[in-house]
């Protein structure tokens, strides 16, 4: 258990530092790469909990597809090698306030809900249990999310067309 | 499983505790796999040059070592001692990072490939593969998705126009074929009913010569097999899909600005990917290490346990590698629009329809429906769907006006 706590601490520290990097760096591509580190840290945390399916899906979908599309979009539009001006805008301070408030509320909730409870780590969830949950128990929310994403996709195409 | 998450199915960890000898077995496996891949790449590059030279009535490399077999090593040593330059407009940290990002996925993907059967090392029963993840097939897909980072960032970080064009082109190609690649893998997963690579290989176990066609998935999943081979060739940027490195239009491609050992690492990664992909294809479609043992020896003889599975694995991988070399020597580079049309209009559609068809057939088998009624209906439905999609496709040049 001690080894797991140490690894958790290291991963969490790396994630927090990279998350700060995402918002402070002056280069859009570097920000995307910091985001990769944050997401990979998340995948590592899932592995620590023995949830391999979720961990590798996180790598496959977020790192392998979402960020790649971000980077692809950045390259196709503007790939500023030496950014001339900073990426900040007027919403910097409201953003900070919202972020701090969110950390406070969520942290207080977690502490309030669990206090000193020790959570026993269960046996790893098998893939078949995950898929049964998605395709049997939660089939309707799953399909609704699918249709929502499809609608967003078609909406993006409609908005982007210039006729 | 006393509250400790298990991340591998290997019998090595059945005891539940990690002793030094278990650690030693894992370390040996990792080092051997690493060395094996490096030597294999060296030999593959030499073999490729020799075979292509033979097909073109040339001699090929014949100076360094017997039959020129040390030519790759000599090239590698030369590149290692060359001066490395970084363009002044480059993004230095990313420029340095990119080669490693491109070689890591190829190594990691090989870790889940079953190379042999169940053997005993240092007194521990274990599978002859670096790690047997319960979600091995998913890991393969995740790693093939990461491969694009090296190429994309190399092109961008070079701070120069041709590499950027090359890497944008490469990224589009890799993303397009990733979908077909994943759907082809899905075709096998539906048949096997497991995500573990060891499980997939076990499903294709050798059971007499008929199992060549009845057990191995290349026949049961023939369409995914063909799609996998095409998509894997495109994913590894091998000819005829090597638009990433078009010397005529792009000077060189995403690696134009790279020199010395960094260039060598890209080169190594490209060929290592081909070997890894062949190993994955062997695992998914050709039964991995399954094959007949030597009948005149006992089944638990060391030759039958250790050597024959590895022998069959290597034979299958070499056969696939020979085919890629053959294709490389025969076909010219594809035109870019045809590359995209092939990927989006045909491979993905056929792969999706095949997944639906084979899912329907598997359900029919499990529910005990009449196969001779279900199969024609499903096949007709799939062909009809493909026909409708085909008729909806824009013909070349048809939609140009509308989108301008």
A101 in any annotated domain: no
- Number of separate domains in chain A: 1
Q: Which letter, b or e, does each residue of B286-320 get, where b requires 16 or more Cβ atoms within 10 Å of its Cβ? A: bbbbbbebeeeeeeeeeebbeebbebbbbebbeeb
Q: How distant is the Cα of A155 from the closest Cα of chain B, in angstroms?
A: 17
Domain range list for chain B: 1-81, 90-114+131-335
Q: CA A37, A38, A42, A45 torsion: positive or negative? A: positive
Does a structural domain hold residue A92? no
Q: Which residue of B has its CA nearest to A126?
A: B134
Tokens linked to A114 = 């669990």
Instruction: CATH number of the domain at A43, please.
Output: 1.20.120.1200
pLDDT in tens, B173-203: 888 898 899 999 998 888 888 888 888 888 8
Residue A86 lies inside a defined structural domain of this protein: no
Residue A129 lies in a domain: yes
Q: With an 8 Å Cβ cutoff, are A60 and B171 in contact?
A: no
**A71 in contact with B, Cβ within 8 Å:** yes
Domain that holds residue A53: 2-80+125-160
Q: What is the mean pLDDT of chain B?
A: 84
H or E element, residue B118: strand B118-121
Question: With contacts defined as CB-CB under 8 Å, which chain A residues touch B404?
Answer: none
Helices B348-367 and B222-235 pack at an angle, to 10 degrees, of 150
Task: State the best of A64, A83, A118, A135 to mutate against chain B, taking most chain B CBs within 10 Å.
Answer: A64
CA distance B399 to chain A (A): 13
- Alpha carbon distances (Å) from B365 to B54, B109, B225, B360: 49, 33, 22, 9
In this structure, are residues B354 and B381 in contact, taking their beta carbons and an 8 Å threshold? no
CB < 8 Å to A81, chain B: 89, 91, 159
- Please report the ipTM that was assigned to this predicted complex: 0.84
A-to-B residue pairs, Cβ atoms closer than 8 angstroms = 95
Residue A5 touches chain B, beta carbons under 8 Å: no
pLDDT tens-place string over residues A64-86: 888 988 888 888 776 555 555 66
State residue B294's pLDDT score. 77
The reply to whether A123 touches chain B by the CB within 8 Å rule is yes
User: pLDDT tens-digit profile of B267-302?
Assistant: 888 899 999 999 999 999 988 888 887 777 777 777
**Closest C-alpha among A26, A67, A136 to residue B171:** A67
What tens digit of pLDDT does each residue of B16-45 get?
667 778 888 888 889 999 999 999 999 999
Chain A: give the shortest CA distance to residue B157, in Å.
8
Q: What is the DSSP letter of B297?
A: S
Residue A104's pLDDT band (cuts 50, 70, 90): very high
B139 contacts on A by Cβ (under 8 Å) = 56
Residues of A in contact with B149 (CB under 8 A): 36, 68
Comparing CB atoms, the residue among A47, A79, A127 nearest residue B7 is A47
Maximal C-alpha separation, chain A: 61
Check whether A98 has a pLDDT greater than 90: yes
Rg (CA), chain A: 20
What region does B184 belong to: left with phi over 0, alpha with psi -120 to 50, or beta? Answer: alpha
- The model's pLDDT over B89-122, given as tens digits with 9 standing for 90+, comes to 888 888 888 899 888 998 899 989 988 888 777 7
Burial of B71 (0-12, 13-18, 19+ CB in 10 A): buried
Determine contact, residues A67/A32, Cβ cutoff 8 Å.
yes
CA B158 to chain centre: 27
Cα dihedral B310→B311→B313→B317 (10° resolution): 130
Peptide bond before residue B240 is cis, with ω within 30 degrees of 0:
yes
**pLDDT tens, residue by residue, B356-384:** 888 888 888 888 888 788 888 888 888 89
Q: Are A47 and B7 in contact (CB under 8 A)?
A: yes
């Amino acid at each position: 258990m001690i080894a797991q706590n140490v690894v958790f601490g290291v991963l969490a520290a790396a994630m927090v530092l990279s998350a700060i990097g995402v918002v402070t760096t002056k280069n859009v591509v570097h920000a995307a790469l910091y985001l990769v580190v944050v997401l990979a840290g998340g995948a590592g945390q899932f592995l620590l909990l023995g949830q391999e399916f979720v961990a590798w899906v996180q790598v496959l979908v977020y790192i392998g597809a979402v960020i790649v599309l971000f980077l692809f979009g950045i390259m196709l539009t503007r790939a500023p090698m030496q950014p001339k001006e900073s990426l900040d805008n007027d919403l910097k301070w409201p953003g900070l306030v919202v972020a701090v408030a969110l950390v406070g509320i969520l942290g207080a909730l977690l502490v309030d809900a669990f206090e000193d409870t020790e959570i026993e780590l269960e046996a790893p969830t098998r893939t078949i249990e995950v898929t049964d949950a998605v395709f049997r128990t939660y089939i309707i929310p799953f399909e609704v999310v699918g249709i929502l994403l499809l609608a967003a996709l078609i909406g993006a195409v409609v908005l982007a067309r210039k006729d | 499983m006393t509250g400790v998450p298990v991340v591998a199915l290997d019998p090595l960890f059945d005891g539940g505790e990690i002793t030094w000898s278990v650690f030693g077995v894992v370390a040996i496996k990792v080092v051997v796999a690493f060395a094996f891949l490096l030597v294999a790449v060296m030999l593959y590059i030499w073999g490729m040059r020799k075979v292509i030279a033979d097909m073109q009535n040339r001699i090929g490399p014949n100076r360094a070592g017997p039959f020129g077999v040390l030519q790759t090593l000599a090239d590698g040593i030369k590149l290692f001692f060359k001066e490395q330059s970084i363009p002044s407009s480059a993004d230095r940290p990313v420029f340095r990072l990119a080669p490693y990002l491109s070689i890591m996925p190829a190594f990691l993907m090989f870790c889940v490939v079953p190379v042999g059967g169940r053997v005993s090392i240092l007194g521990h029963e274990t599978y002859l593969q670096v790690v047997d993840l319960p979600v091995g097939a998913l890991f393969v897909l995740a790693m093939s998705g990461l491969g694009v980072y090296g190429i994309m960032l190399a092109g961008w970080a070079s701070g120069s126009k041709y590499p950027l064009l090359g890497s944008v082109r490469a990224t589009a190609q890799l993303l397009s074929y990733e979908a077909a690649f994943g759907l082809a893998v899905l075709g096998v997963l539906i048949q096997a009913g497991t995500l573990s690579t060891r499980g997939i290989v076990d499903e294709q176990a050798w059971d007499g010569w008929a199992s060549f066609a009845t057990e191995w998935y290349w026949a049961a999943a023939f369409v995914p097999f063909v799609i996998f081979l095409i998509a894997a060739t495109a994913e590894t940027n091998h000819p005829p899909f090597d638009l990433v490195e078009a010397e005529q239009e792009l000077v060189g491609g995403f690696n134009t600005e790279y020199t010395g050992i960094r260039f060598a690492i890209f080169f190594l990664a490209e060929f290592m990917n081909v070997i890894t992909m062949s190993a994955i294809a062997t695992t998914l479609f050709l039964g991995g290490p399954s094959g007949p043992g030597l009948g005149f020896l006992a089944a638990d003889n060391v030759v039958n346990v250790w050597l024959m599975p590895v022998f069959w694995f290597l034979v299958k991988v070499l056969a696939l590698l020979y085919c890629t070399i053959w294709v490389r020597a025969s076909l010219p580079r594809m035109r870019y629009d045809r590359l995209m049309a092939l990927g989006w209009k045909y491979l993905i559609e056929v792969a999706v329809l095949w997944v639906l068809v084979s899912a329907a057939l598997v359900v029919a088998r499990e529910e005990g429906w009449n196969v001779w009624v279900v199969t024609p209906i499903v096949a007709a439905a799939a062909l009809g769907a493909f026909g409708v999609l085909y008729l909806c496709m824009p013909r070349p040049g048809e939609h140009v006006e509308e989108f301008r």
